[in-house]
Structure 1
């Protein structure tokens, strides 16, 4: 029995160290790939800037492409979780909360946001698919807030997709050229979303735009 216990405990510590080391490498990679294109960074460059042996990166990620995909997927998980918070709120409030969360994430995690939205996505269809997954997650979150469901019509989905794509470009410009406060940027995006939702309602009355909350006396 004592021998079994002694064998298990080091293995658990090793697993924890591996998870922490992998997370550390991903955090470093998020910064590296946000500032430099995928093709411009060799594995030797990455290892040198990360202050690790190149073999360690291969051990955890098998290849530079595997490393890059892990970075993108990690960034995506953070963004989607952050933007989708506030499920217990009223519909209109939830839309505000989602946009606020999205902007707050972009503002405080600029390197990760750039990696998700424009970090070399054109070179790899798998990375492109990951970015599309972010868009679908944001569309689902907005649809739940606006309509109370994710299963929406084609016109409604296309309207929300067009809005999300415009938000990506506007948010990139906002973090690159700060000028608007986050509050003002949020209100601008909320109002443009309102325009999209009203247009969707005109084309598909089964998807009415949510009404602003009434203020009592």
Structure 2
């Protein structure tokens, strides 16, 4: 069976560095992490371009808007009325640190995570994305691609909780913050390009050691393997 470290090595060799998360500032990265909930990144990029064009990618300026003013600016991200409220809730929290991630540098990661999870509209994946990508904290981000890829590889059962999967990576993966960053991006890319709901096993670098690999000439097997 492949180990989490071996999977990282193989994916990095296959795809190369991903240069993720895109964003000109840490604040922009955090905003993107909230806006990307349930939508493709292209839609998020469109909304961020609009905010940048309006010179609103500054926490104080953005926080000065009401939800009704903000919502139309982020319309491409879907659920824009809800996301406007989520952004403002996040900014309420961010104000407590003077709108500066640098001022949160001395805070314990576990406390920051607890605070972010207490913000209405921010769940574990979004909180951990902000911690890892915007704040440089050693926190592994788990998403649907992580669960799919590692369940198919037999490393996960598939029924584990978010926190249980995260603890597994924290215990087994040898990397630091840059590698946590890279690994999550590689998993997302692999899940989108190859290990899809209907997997393209013939193109998979991990297929030889994958107990769930299927022949792409056998559609019935592919459907069975990708249930869920």
TM-score by length of 1: 0.28
Structure showing greater radius of gyration is 1
TM-score by length of 2: 0.27
Structure with the higher helix share, 1 or 2: 1
